[in-house]
Chains A and B, each alone.
Chain A
Amino acid sequence: MEQTQGRADGDLARLIAAGDEAAFMAAYDDHASLLYAVVMRLLSDREAAAEIIQETYLTLWQRAAQYRPEAGSLRTWLMRIARNRALDRLRAEARRPHLVSVTESMGSDGGWMPRADDRNQAGDEPGPSLERRWTQAVVRTAVAGMPHDERKVLVLAYDEGLSQSQIAARLALPIGTVKSRTRRAMARLRDILGTVPDLVDGGVGEAIDGSR
């Protein structure tokens, strides 16, 4: 299966390298939704996310000949380009001496105050590393794409630390139902995360190489 996909990706990249615009747009239709969803979730800025995806496909158009299917899928390759550009953008924003937050809310006194998480986004204060934020964006995108019942059991297990039997009690469901939902949810996660490079390790914070 992976070999077949590798061949298909290799053929597609060769066509793009030869100037085939239909192949180029096929690569867009195959992967842009996931790329955009992850980058959008990371940057929280539609305009910036669209720019990153556009730059990613510009790179594909200009450098398709450099793609090597044996090093990973085309999606993995594109995902790495988008990731690097998105993280570069966040680093550049964090270096700016004065950065204006565009998402603000009313303070308790009726006045207007920047939100704490906005300041973290901008890099003004210590927050999670960019690599961790990338990983979180990927995982949240994958979870967002799940059916609600599968998403629910996963969030209860990971964010609230509940065991399978505790989840069953909380949701008033048979334990077998909870297990089968969790199993399906984890399988979906595994499929999606398997194509994403440079995810962060939950224990020590090191990047895990995405090539398989």
Chain B
Amino acid sequence: MDHAEAHERLADLALEPGRLIDLEADPTPEERALLAHAETCSTCRAELADWRRTHSAVLAASTTGGIDPTGRLEIGSAESSAGPPTSLRVAVADIPRHSPRLLDPASERPGARMNGDEQRSRWRTSAVAAVIIVGLCVGLGAIAADQVQRADVARQQVRALVGLSTSLDRVLRDDGHTAIALVGLDGAPGGTAAWSSSEIVIMTTALTSPGPDAEYRCWVERDGQRTAIGAMRFADGVAYWWGSLDRYDGTPLDGGGRLGVSLEQTGQSGSHAPVLLGELPS
């Protein structure tokens, strides 16, 4: 078998799922000739390896739940097909201005020299970063072993609150956003819900974590029917939930009704009285 023939045969076999993976197991005479050629031809050998790798990955995906990106079981498939948000590009573009680099001296080149202002600015950034890093090291060093876990929780909370504020900021920057007040059982203001065309943020300082067996569930109620849209999370005194509205196509928020939060048993259906409630615009 010559090279062109082997190349053609490989392309044919690549059409059959997994066929190239176990070619050696029970080869036809033609396949045996292909394998013999691949032994002596590095190009075909590499091509065979490439196809095997591709087939293996696709088979793994297929047996994990299918390769169909529109599959019923896949959560957020519509969101997955969307590109990265514009805000991500803005955030990444900001990295050079706010993040000190771990410079490799050898990588500094004459063409990349900074002017005086840039040097001073970068020096200040580096100095501030160094102070923070030293402070963190000293602080972390002083933390006893039994406090490490608490520090970890604190870091998670900070991260959650940063995510919350980022999401809220994005919603409020949307010209078409809506915000409503949520009131407690006593009628006093108890929280806020704000949403844009694509995401919603609900937050309050009036609730505390109910423990693992219960949760504060967020819902939309219309014509006496409640549709759950999420459940509150907790971080440092703030109860919040935010998420995409794309997956709640059947539950538009501008069609009237009520948005509420109630305490329910985790993992069970329920419709207890709301602890926070707001009127949705018609």
Contact = CB atoms under 8 A, between A and B. Distances in A.
Given A111-B268, A117-B75, A190 B51 contact: yes
Contact of A190 (B54, B81, B83, B87): B54
A135 B84 contact: no
Contacts of B14: 183, 186
B21 interface: yes
Contacts of A68: none
B95 A112 contact: no
A203 B54 contact: no
Interface stretch (B101-109, B176-184, B189-197): B101-109
Interface residues of A, number: 88
A160 B145 CA distance: 53
B89 A28 contact: yes
Nearest to A33: B83
Given A50-B85, A98-B212, A140-B67, A106 B163 contact: no
20 contacts: A18-B111, A25-B93, A33-B83, A45-B76, A47-B242, A61-B96, A100-B231, A104-B229, A105-B228, A109-B269, A114-B267, A135-B57, A139-B58, A140-B80, A144-B70, A158-B58, A186-B15, A193-B53, A202-B55, A202-B61
B215 A41 contact: no
B61 A139 contact: yes
B104 A20 contact: no
Interface in A34-62: 36-37, 40-41, 44-48, 50-51, 53-54, 57-58, 61-62
B64 A136 contact: yes
A174 interface: no
A40 B76 contact: yes
B244 interface: yes
Interface of B: 11, 14-18, 21, 50-51, 53-71, 73-77, 79-85, 87-89, 91-93, 95-96, 99-104, 106-109, 111-112, 114, 163, 166-167, 199, 211-212, 215, 217, 219, 225-233, 241-244, 247, 264, 266-271
Contacts of A133: 64
Given A32-B84, A62-B101, A102-B241, A47 B62 contact: no
Contact of B163 (A47, A97, A121, A183): A47
Chain A contact residues: helix, strand, loop or mixed: helix
Contacts of A47: 163, 166-167, 242
Interface of A: 14-15, 17-21, 24-25, 28, 32-33, 36-37, 40-41, 44-48, 50-51, 53-54, 57-58, 61-66, 97-98, 100-107, 109-115, 117-118, 121, 128, 132-133, 135-136, 138-141, 143-144, 151, 154-155, 157-159, 161, 163-164, 179, 182-183, 186, 189-190, 193-194, 199-203, 205, 208
Contacts of A20: 112
